[in-house]
Structure 1
Amino acid sequence: MNSKRWIALIVAVVLLVFSLGFRMATSVVTADFEEMFDLQDNKFQQSVIEEGSGTNQIAVLNLDGVIQDSGENSLLDSGGYNHKRFLELLDEAGQDRTVNGIVLRVNTPGGGVVESAEIHDKVVEIQEEYEKPVYVSMGNTAASGGYYVAAPADKIVAHEATLTGSIGVIMESFNFAEFADEHGIDFNTIKSGEYKDIMSSSREMTDDERDILQAMIDDMYGDFVDVIVDGRGMPEDEVRNLSDGRVYTGSQANDNGLVDELGSMDDTIAMMKEDYDLGDARVIEYQKGFGVNQWLGGAVQNMFDSESDVNGIKDMLRESNAPRAMYLYTK
């Protein structure tokens, strides 16, 4: 075989290898990632906690972390609270005809006013539209927004050492005007209206601004009180006496009527079984699926020395947002 034929053969082999490699890469890019991460078909996962009848089920949903909508596409989603997915979990449990009751395991210091209200409304929707009981089992902390979402439950069960209550609204911001003056830092603010820079960190708040914000907080606080009055069937004056922002232990909350029983998660499930004749029910736990963002979050997290590094970045990004009202227990 002469040199020209050898060259032609080598070129043909190179072209064949290149063609096969290109097809393989295209196939991976267009199809394999969805299958690897199972993004579309299995949005949620179920695990069996207690065996029983598959036609009668109690679904357990875990509400962990600060109730805050940080967006569903964050590259730093390392598996923390995801507001959109939790609402979808509630929808799934409500619509599942094999689920006869729902237990919310609440372990949160609260969070955003709007997000807390959205969960509360979803619980009420499940009770009224699907006629399913919703019980709440409180973990270490179920305070402020955590109590807001628990208030409409058919039964609230707390551990005697649970921290709950903290009923109220808070809005905070930093003020470093004096520091800026001491260090010769000037701020140039151009605004369209007198109150456009309300709660600015670069100057003292005026009395008018404080009155405006206090009126907003009082309105949101009134909504919180109404939620407890409606959910717990308590007189408004009694709720307001309990709602000065303080936290209560589970035992104290049981004494003052904010919770119904003391007990564990297992106790809460047992109560639902007994109350609704679900002794043979299978107990399942609804969990969010594993998505690409969560995988990327884990990959990014491994680039740092510890989990606190990633959480610190997320906290800094969160704190850079404008101040907002929160149903949040802060220490």
Structure 2
Amino acid sequence: MNFFRKVLASCLGTSIALILLTGLSFLFFGFLVSALGDKDKVTVKSNSVLELDLSNTIKDYVPKSDNPLDELFGKDQLQLSSVLNAIENAKYDDKIKGISIEGEFVSAGMAQTQAIRNKLVEFKETGKFITSYANLYSQKSYYLSSVADSVFVTPYGMAEFKGLSSERLFYKDFEDKYGVKMEVIRHGKYKSAVEGYLDNKMSDANREQITSFLNSIWEEILEDVGSSRNKNNDELNLIADDLLTRSSEMAVENNMIDGAIFKDQYEEKLKSLVNDDVHTISINNYISTGKGRLKSTSSNTIAIIYAQGDILYGEGDESYIGQESMIRAIRKVRDNNKIKAVVLRIDSPGGIALTADLIWRELQILKSEKPIVVSIGDVAASGGYYMACVADKIYAQPTSITGSIGVFGTIPNFSELVDRIGINAEQVATNKQSVGYSPYEPMTDDFYNVTKEGVERTYETFLKRVAEGRNMTRDAVDSIAQGRVWTGKEAIEIGLIDELGSMEDAIVAAAELAGIVDYKTSNYPRYKKDIEDSFKSFSFIKAKNDLIKKELGEENYKIYQEIQNRTQFKGIQMRLPYIIDLN
């Protein structure tokens, strides 16, 4: 009954609950099996155009599911490597004549989007066409679509092109007013995850680092868009400053859009490009035909170990990094003689220091037997970089976020609040340190000093790990540490990474280090889900978080998720200063 309570509490649907509770589950699943059997097989027809709609969430790793309902109802996630492999296969597929980029939004990180765009540049070199159409373009979708030979928008549409910004919240005045605050212990002047609790305005150091990485990413966007649209940085900055793409007419006039047409007119243009009746196939369906993989018959294998999400303590799954699943995967890779090299793909803002160190140790042992190359995705910062620094070689996209070598701890304190409303907390203990910390009493000097000692010890360990891994001195690492965030483009200049490049580049480098030419890849960790997890993944059932998201809206839901995540911040943290959300 506990399982069914959880099912109901997660809003798994009245109809499904009734089926399960009345014993009709066999009939229900029989229907599903029948539906799966009747599902039409996807084929690629001649004169096809590959539709690239990336509004579904793009993740570095979407583990293969054993749940048949995922196949029936589809997933709302795409694996980045599958998208890249599909475009690579489309280059040589005679049935694919070109690519049509469609959709207003791109649900991918900046580094992921840049990797897809770079792959589209390669696609164009084959002589096949790329076109794009949207009712309106968000800035990220325009960045991706600008690679096209022709970019079209609906007559009453627009293209967002305004530059980048980042907003931080500060809580000091709120804390003073209501008597609820966060006690902060940190090392690193840039470790600004906690700055909002200490002041009511941004520090000069934090403003410096945000300005630096925003400019670095914006320069990449300007370079790529300028190359495709034949414009220099000054021209593009003028367009952004004056919002000269805020209408379709202005976007066309400033040569950022090639035409303002309706969708049926765009479809006629696709027919003329193919010179025949055009067939379209979505990226999801193209991947389902097997085009999301690069085939190889080699017995040599390169393992790709995905470290994705916050670093927490425990088992871990595709949404967060836990030491148990990671260590299990690392040991399997180490013991497999067919695996000749490893690519560690990291997309993590960091998290619990203990977990990061346990994983680091297993990677160090693995490195003694097999070469390891790190590929940084959107972010490998703080604890994420802690794991990365063990590698033989580190790759990152220019727009990747990394560094943030710093440590902090935060503890909520309500002592002023409870004092104001007349609540008194009393403790009884056997020893001086038995009580430790109480959120209802002011933090004692003893507790602060002990915790500060732990933070400093963790920071020094962090410096040592990076110094050993990157062949630098402790002081050299400290000079670029202090919690500062860097883009991949900046990181290569200060020695935190070795090369700018994609995961494909990292795989090639791993093969070279292993001395192999022919190889295939294999993904790790491999997660097993029980029946309860399978029910949670049904895409036609609205779970609790889906309902919350609908009620709160996209932006407020992000805040809700951040609050949920912070409840899991236990122990000393090696974490990115904040969620980097580019506007």
TM-score (norm 1): 0.76
Measure the CA separation in 2 of the matches of 1:51 and 1:322: 41
TM-superposed CA distance for 1:308, in Å, is 6.0
2:516 alignment counterpart: 278
Q: Please tell me the root mean square deviation across aligned C-alpha atoms, in Å.
A: 3.0
Paired residue for 1:325, among 558, 565, 572? 572
1:116 alignment counterpart: 356
| 1:100-130 CA distance string (max 9 Å, x none) | 00101100011111110111111111122xx
The aligned length equals 282
Mapped pair 1:236 → 2:474: yes
What letter matches 2:431 in structure 1? G
1:89 alignment counterpart: 329
Relative distance call for 1:277 and 1:285 in structure 2 (3 A) is: same
2:403 alignment counterpart: 165
Paired residue for 1:68, among 312, 321, 328? 312
> Which segment drifts farther, 301-310 or 237-246?
301-310
2:413 alignment counterpart: 175
TM-superposed CA distance for 1:287, in Å, is 4.4
Relative distance call for 1:115 and 1:268 in structure 2 (3 A) is: same
Paired residue for 1:59, among 283, 300, 303? 303
What letter matches 2:387 in structure 1? V
TM-superposed CA distance for 1:154, in Å, is 0.5
CA contact (8 A) 2:425 2:440 kept: yes
Paired residue for 1:145, among 350, 375, 383? 383
Measure the CA separation in 2 of the matches of 1:231 and 1:305: 40
Paired residue for 1:298, among 532, 537, 543? 537
CA contact (8 A) 1:229 1:235 kept: yes
2:16 alignment counterpart: none
1:252 alignment counterpart: 490
Measure the CA separation in 2 of the matches of 1:132 and 1:296: 39
Measure the CA separation in 2 of the matches of 1:280 and 1:317: 45
2:319 alignment counterpart: 80
What letter matches 1:267 in structure 2? D
TM-superposed CA distance for 1:80, in Å, is 2.2
TM-superposed CA distance for 1:278, in Å, is 2.1
Measure the CA separation in 2 of the matches of 1:260 and 1:321: 33
| 1:191-213 CA distance string (max 9 Å, x none) | 33333333422122223322221
Relative distance call for 1:272 and 1:70 in structure 2 (3 A) is: closer
Paired residue for 1:223, among 453, 461, 475? 461
TM-superposed CA distance for 1:323, in Å, is 4.6
Measure the CA separation in 1 of the matches of 2:315 and 2:299: 35
TM-superposed CA distance for 1:231, in Å, is 1.0
SS at match of 1:284: strand
Measure the CA separation in 1 of the matches of 2:497 and 2:381: 12
CA contact (8 A) 1:49 1:283 kept: no
Measure the CA separation in 1 of the matches of 2:417 and 2:367: 53
Relative distance call for 1:244 and 1:305 in structure 2 (3 A) is: closer
CA contact (8 A) 1:66 1:108 kept: yes
TM-superposed CA distance for 1:161, in Å, is 1.1
SS at match of 1:156: strand
What letter matches 2:311 in structure 1? I
CA contact (8 A) 1:165 1:253 kept: yes
TM-superposed CA distance for 1:67, in Å, is 1.3
2:344 alignment counterpart: 104
Relative distance call for 1:290 and 1:253 in structure 2 (3 A) is: same
Measure the CA separation in 2 of the matches of 1:242 and 1:248: 9
Measure the CA separation in 2 of the matches of 1:321 and 1:315: 10
CA contact (8 A) 1:50 1:284 kept: no
Measure the CA separation in 2 of the matches of 1:173 and 1:68: 17
Measure the CA separation in 2 of the matches of 1:305 and 1:222: 39
TM-score (norm 2): 0.44
Measure the CA separation in 1 of the matches of 2:334 and 2:415: 51
Measure the CA separation in 2 of the matches of 1:320 and 1:88: 26
SS at match of 1:210: helix
SS at match of 1:174: strand
| 1:266-293 CA distance string (max 9 Å, x none) | 1111222334332211122234133205
SS at match of 1:204: coil
Measure the CA separation in 2 of the matches of 1:257 and 1:322: 30
What letter matches 1:298 in structure 2? S
Measure the CA separation in 1 of the matches of 2:419 and 2:516: 67
Measure the CA separation in 2 of the matches of 1:244 and 1:220: 13
CA contact (8 A) 2:313 2:355 kept: yes
TM-superposed CA distance for 1:218, in Å, is 0.9
> Which segment drifts farther, 313-322 or 195-204?
313-322
CA contact (8 A) 2:297 2:520 kept: yes
TM-superposed CA distance for 1:328, in Å, is 1.4
SS at match of 2:311: coil
CA contact (8 A) 1:143 1:164 kept: yes
Mapped pair 1:208 → 2:446: yes
TM-superposed CA distance for 1:188, in Å, is 2.9
SS at match of 1:222: helix
CA contact (8 A) 2:360 2:390 kept: yes
Measure the CA separation in 2 of the matches of 1:254 and 1:114: 27
What letter matches 2:475 in structure 1? D
TM-superposed CA distance for 1:71, in Å, is 4.7
